[in-house]
Homo-oligomer: A and B are copies of this chain.
Amino acid sequence: MLNSIALIGGTHGNETSGIQLITNWLNTGLPERFESLNVTCALANMAAIEANQRFLDEDLNRQFTAEKLAADNPAREAQLAKKLNAKYGPKGHSATDFFIDIHNTTSNMGATLIVLEADDFNTKLARFVKHVMPEANILVEDEKSFVEHGYFCTVGKKGVMIEVGAQPQGVLREDVYQLTLTMAEAILDFCVAWNARSQELANLPPCEAFRLGHEVKFPLDENGKRKAMIHHSLQDQDFTPLLPGAPIFRGFDGTDFVWEDDNETYPHFINEAAYHKLDVAFATAERISF
């Protein structure tokens, strides 16, 4: 039974769709059909929201490893993480059965559900979401165990992220807002069905999903400066198969860089603004049946 659910926006202060959805539901209450659920709606990083920035000192959504939660880091998000862990966790012995954290991205990822485990709960959740929202993408980041991730949602016993794009930082687009709303409602509909031990959940067929591979960096010159940008034929093509030999970067000198792997991949987080400083161009994934 999911006796306590947290639904969170504003973990990143310039990701407006989750902030606005939580603000609206705090004002109006959740839709009536979720009244059997015990859902806590909240905004995570009020100072970053006020500043309209992703974070003030450090990325809040990377602070929730056991190591970082135990460390003595004066960064404002590190301090905030300890308070949030006490409130919604503590991690590993959590008072929150299911934690849903809402994000948006400048990448054209549509409505993506990010799950961190391939267990019975997450598999049924993913199949249910894909069933009621066929346009959704399922991204599986299970390259390490659930608790080893530093994401905020891992303070819950179970946790997932909603990631919707493309939306510039600090901008609210209606299309992104509506996709965020639809996916949040789909997840809560699943919670109702899970708590009711609905037979429907056992009967859902496997769904398409994408399992995270690795990060691909921009080509840099000897001074560490970028010498290319995302190729126009790759831009906005998140989760579209990238074939061997297809262009991925356009050099500032006009030369193209191609995908040199032997296999196709499913790129995502293409040209995400928040990964700018890290020179991450996109992430790879393999297509799986989940």
Residues of A at the B interface (CB closer than 8 Å) are 20, 23-24, 28, 52, 106, 166, 168-175, 177-178, 225, 229-232, 235, 250, 252-253, 271-274, 276-277
Cβ-closest 9 pairs across A and B = A168-B168, A170-B273, A174-B232, A106-B168, A171-B273, A24-B252, A172-B229, A170-B276, A168-B273
CB proximity of A191 to chain B, nearest CB, Å: 23
Complex-state Cα separation, A49 to B166, whole angstroms: 23
Q: How far is the CA of A203 from the CA of B166 in the complex (A)?
A: 44
Q: Which residues of B contact A273 (CB under 8 A)?
A: 168-171
Cα–Cα distance between A225 and B177 once the two chains are bound (Å): 17
Which chain B residue shows the least CB distance to A233? B174
Number of this chain's copies in the complex? 2
Extra contacts besides A20-B252, A170-B273, A174-B250 (17): CB < 8 Å: A20-B229, A23-B225, A28-B253, A52-B277, A106-B168, A106-B170, A168-B168, A168-B169, A168-B273, A171-B271, A171-B276, A172-B229, A174-B229, A174-B230, A174-B231, A177-B229, A178-B232
Give complex CA distance A57, B57 in Å.
17
What are 14 of the A-B contact pairs (CB < 8 Å)? A20-B252, A52-B277, A166-B168, A168-B169, A168-B171, A169-B169, A170-B276, A171-B272, A173-B229, A173-B232, A174-B229, A174-B230, A174-B232, A174-B250
A173 touches B230 (CB 8 A): yes
Residues of B within 8 A of A178 (CB): 232
**A277–B232 Cα gap in the complex (Å)?**
31
**Bound Cα distance from A16 to B106, whole angstroms:** 14
Pair A175/B235 contact, Cβ less than 8 Å: yes
Q: By the criterion CB–CB under 8 Å, are B106 and A171 in contact? A: yes
Out of B169, B173, B229, name the residue touching A271 (CB < 8 Å).
B173
Least distance between A252 CB and chain B CB atoms (Å): 5
Q: Which residues of B contact A231 (CB under 8 A)?
A: 174
Chain B residues whose CB sits within 8 angstroms of the CB of A229 once the complex forms = 20, 172-174, 177
Which B-chain residue is minimally distant from A221 (CB atoms)? B27
A232 to B175, CA, bound (A): 6
Give A277's nearest chain B residue, CB to CB: B52
Q: Do A169 and B172 touch (CB < 8 A)?
A: no
Closest chain B residue, CB of each to CB of A236:
B173
Minimum CB–CB distance from A233 to chain B (whole Å) comes to 9
Point out the residue from B52, B272, B276 that lies within 8 Å of A276, measured CB to CB.
Answer: B52
CA distance A235 to B250 in the complex (A): 29
Which B residues are CB-close (under 8 A) to A277?
52
